[in-house]
Chains A and B, each alone.
Chain A
Amino acid sequence: MPPPGGTYEKIFAFGSSGLLSQSLTVAQEGTDSPEITASAKIPFWYDPNKRAIIYQVVVLGMVGLVAYYLFTNTLANLERQNIATGFGFFSKQASFEISESPIPYSAADTYARALLVGVLNTIKVSFIGIVVTVLLGTFIGIARLSSNWLVAKLSAVYIEVMQDIPVLLQLVFWYAVFYESFPPPRQALGPIRGVYLSNRGMVFAVPQMHPVYGYMALVFVVGCLAVWVLRRWAKKRQEKTGQSFPLFLVSLAILLLLPLATWLVGGAPLKMNVPRLVGFNFEGGTTLSPEFAALLLGLVLYTAAFVAEIVRAGIQAVSRGQVEAAMSLGLRPGKVLRLVILPQALRVIIPPLTSQMLNLIKNSTLAIAIGFPDFVSVANTTINQTGQAIEGVGMIMVVYLFFSLSTSAVMNWYNKKVALVER
């Protein structure tokens, strides 16, 4: 029955606060049917709206009381134990070393800088971890569906085994492999030329710094812009004329050939920074510390198993009829994959994939168990030195909440973009 007086709009207007809209409807019904005149006759404890208010006041009061109790206890304890409050320690000298850091850091720097190093290390391991995990997981997920029995079974075994072993155990396992099973640098294993595995980590050759690389990066960025413009133009042209443009090949050519041409023009520098054994350790090249390598390996291998399952489920969610229909329209296999399978599979894949990325970021906190200086590890040292547990734990929570929220914001944006493709 439509309530007179345009109540729907009112309900709609107050829709966000459920209580208000309810009381409105009740009031409206009151005038609508005169035999139930008003809520005056009903004792207030039988009125669901008033009861709701009472419940909420009681719950909020209880939560407030508990919070107050904990707060006063904490204040008393802090005072008794002479622990400072606030973030004054930020500008004090940290006086502890951090084993690896992307920015210059020494024990003479402040706590704020030490914590920044922790954040950067966390970002580094999470970012590289997520990229490698998505690639490896996709690969294994596709392999799981292979028509080759060996490939399918091996991936299935991989997925099952990796999912069922705690990630912390995997981390300490890989760390032990690096530490105990690999020889010291003098007898380092060299599986490929220029790559050495030893108990000091993995050392590999990198190209010697040369100004040409900077130009190559610049050209690559310009290439990305060109591809973006080209894409828009090609899309417009196809909408207008129906002619399609070999966009993928041309973009690939732009992105690969332009930097390559720059490199050739720049004199094709080939000099590599090859690690050499000097004394008891390597010099030159780039080193992945055993801690970082073990952390990355453990996180990637563990999370990739979950990603593989998600990718498999996503691909299987696209019905065969879709593929057959696309083929009968005359699309080539590459286009079937790109235009029909992928957009539909991605829709299924993205939300659980996001939560796996968040898991990887959260699991990177286990670095503390093998001594990689991520944010939690640095914050823990800070807590131990300053005794300011509340600020420390609070910082950890805020930082990871921020990481989680920003990752989900990006993925939600991407998800929306993908979801739009379907209609």
Chain B
Amino acid sequence: MQEVRETTAMKPPVTRIGVLGWVRTNLFSSVFNSFLTVVIIYFLWKIVPGLIRWAFIDSSWTTTGAECRAAGGACWSVVTKNLRFIIFGFFPYEWQWRPLLAMIILFTLLIVSRNRSYWKKWLGYSWLIGLFVMGLLLRGGLFGLPPVESTKWSGLPLTLLLSVFGLTAAYPLGVLLALGRQSRMPAIKSLSVVYIETIRGVPLISLLFMSSVMFPLFLPEGITINNILRAQVAIIMFTAAYIAEVVRGGLQAISRGQYEAAESLGLNYPQKMRLIILPQALKIVIPPSVGILISAFKDTSLVVIIGLFDLLKTTQSTLSDPRWMGFSVEAYIFIALIYFTGCFSMSSYSRRLERELYRGN
């Protein structure tokens, strides 16, 4: 008769699995790592509780500035009490729903455009209509909306306007410059190269200065263009040079065979570019273009320096109010959060897109 021996499966040692195992492999895998972990935990222990205390426990959320000073913690009231000014700036108070609606349209369009299966003709048309409606909402003057002067445009809508319209207008220009740089005609090629390299070599601020102090000299007497348009022109000129370089990368990535095949089909230059090369090249450069949108979004904060009231400037003018003086850190953290949310969602989208497109090839 055979003896039935019961065997139990031996479990791996507790130190190798579960929480303990994870801690061991990820935090204490060697002497040096253990030392690092201990040092970091010590510093976090020193810093984080105080920070949480400052930001949440001792903080005031809806008080006046004086009460804030008494409370001692973070003063988020500077944001909550001035939120509408920080976001919309000098836009007439009763009409602030208009920029709000414009921003909602923009965000809806952006969210819809995330999905690649919607990239059809209708999306392009809805962007065109959307941009038009947004401009109309800000500007007014039609359909019973009272006009609002562009000097009153400020805050977040201005930031978004400068970056979105800047990129939209700069893209065609950038593509032309990239084609010019690839051109075999020496005059056109050298013009494009000089333009691209000059713009990329100088800081954006010098272009903004140029737009604010030199444009008035360029125009004939009596013609003035408003500040926002001038800054917009500078941003478009600047962004176009960077787009040109990105697009050039895309053009160079298309194999020679594609060019030759298009030529042997008897297509002329515009047909070849429009039907064969650009559709492929522009698809490759979508992820880096999102990167350019991110930097355009961040760079628009520079218009502060030529005196436009973008998000940063409205915040700064809130802070110059004696009642709210001294709470810069809280206010800046708030707008940093806005910028971070925008840039982070765009950059993570760009990474996802890169993976998808890479897989597609």
User: Interface of A with B (CB < 8 Å)?
Assistant: 17-19, 22, 52, 55-56, 59-60, 63, 70, 73-74, 76-78, 80, 146-151, 154, 160-161, 163-169, 172-173, 176-177, 179-181, 358, 362-363, 365-366, 368-369, 376, 380, 383, 389-390, 392-393, 396-397, 400-401, 404-405
Contact = CB atoms under 8 A, between A and B. Distances in A.
A78 B301 CA distance: 31
Interface string B172-207: 000000000000111110010000001001111110
Contacts of B188: 55-56, 59
Nearest to B210: A393
A150 B37 contact: yes
Interface in B277-313: 294, 298-299, 301-302, 304-305, 312
A56 B186 contact: yes
A376 B333 CA distance: 27
Given A19-B185, A55-B188, A163-B343, A401 B202 contact: yes
Contacts of B52: none
> Which among A17, A63, A401 has the greatest number of chain B C-beta atoms within 10 A?
A401
B192 to A, nearest CB: 10
A73 B220 contact: yes
B40 A151 contact: yes
**9 closest Cβ pairs, A-B complex:** A176-B328, A164-B343, A149-B26, A389-B213, A362-B203, A56-B187, A166-B298, A404-B201, A18-B184
A17 B190 CA distance: 11
Chain B interface residue bracket vs A? 35 or more
Given A56-B186, A172-B332, A166 B217 contact: no
B329 A177 contact: yes
Contact of A148 (B33, B186, B298, B335): B33
A76 B206 contact: no
B197 to A, nearest CB: 9
Contacts of B333: 173
A60 B191 CA distance: 9
A165 B186 contact: no
A86 to B, nearest CB: 15
Given A165-B336, A376-B203, A173 B329 contact: yes
Which residue of A151, A164, A362, A397 has the most chain B CB atoms within 10 A of its CB atom? Answer: A164
B222 to A, nearest CB: 11
Given A52-B184, A148-B26, A73 B340 contact: no
A401 B27 contact: no
B347 interface: yes
B95 interface: no
A73 to B, nearest CB: 5
B342 to A, nearest CB: 8
A166 B299 CA distance: 7
Contacts of B339: 164-166, 169
Given A365-B206, A369-B304, 14 more contacts: A18-B186, A19-B184, A19-B186, A73-B219, A147-B26, A164-B294, A165-B340, A166-B298, A169-B339, A179-B328, A362-B204, A368-B305, A389-B213, A389-B214
A397 B184 contact: no
15 contacts: A18-B186, A22-B184, A56-B185, A56-B188, A74-B218, A76-B220, A148-B29, A164-B342, A166-B301, A166-B312, A168-B312, A366-B302, A366-B305, A392-B209, A396-B206
B186 A17 contact: yes
B227 interface: no
B298 to A, nearest CB: 4
B33 A147 contact: yes
Contacts of B27: 148-150
A180 B209 contact: no
Q: What is the predominant secondary structure among interface residues of chain B facing chain A? A: helix
Contacts of B302: 168, 366
Most chain-B CB neighbours within 10 Å: which of A74, A166, A168, A181? A166
A180 B330 CA distance: 12
A168 B343 CA distance: 15
A397 B304 contact: no
Interface of B: 26-27, 29, 33, 36-37, 40-41, 184-188, 191, 198, 201-206, 209-210, 213-214, 216-221, 294, 298-299, 301-302, 304-305, 312, 316, 326, 328-329, 332-333, 335-336, 339-340, 342-344, 347
A206 B326 CA distance: 32
Contacts of B312: 166, 168-169, 172
A180 B328 contact: yes
B328 A167 contact: no
B220 A397 contact: no
B206 A77 contact: no
B301 A168 contact: yes
A129 to B, nearest CB: 14
Nearest to A150: B40
* Residue among B26, B29, B217 having the largest count of chain A Cβ atoms under 10 Å: B217
Nearest to B199: A397
Contacts of A164: 294, 339-340, 342-344, 347
Contacts of B298: 165-167
B220 A181 contact: no
Contacts of B347: 163-164
Nearest to A78: B217
Contact of B221 (A77, A149, A365, A397): A77
The residue among B27, B202, B335, B347 with the most chain A CB atoms within 10 A of its own CB is B202
Contact of A393 (B29, B184, B213): B213
B329 A181 contact: yes
A150 B28 CA distance: 11
A248 to B, nearest CB: 21
Contact of A59 (B187, B204, B209, B336): B187
A181 B304 CA distance: 23
A172 B316 contact: yes
A354 B184 CA distance: 29
Which of A70, A181, A393 has the largest count of B CB atoms less than 10 A from its CB? A393
B221 A76 contact: yes
A396 B213 contact: no
Contacts of A168: 301-302, 304, 312
A393 B209 contact: yes
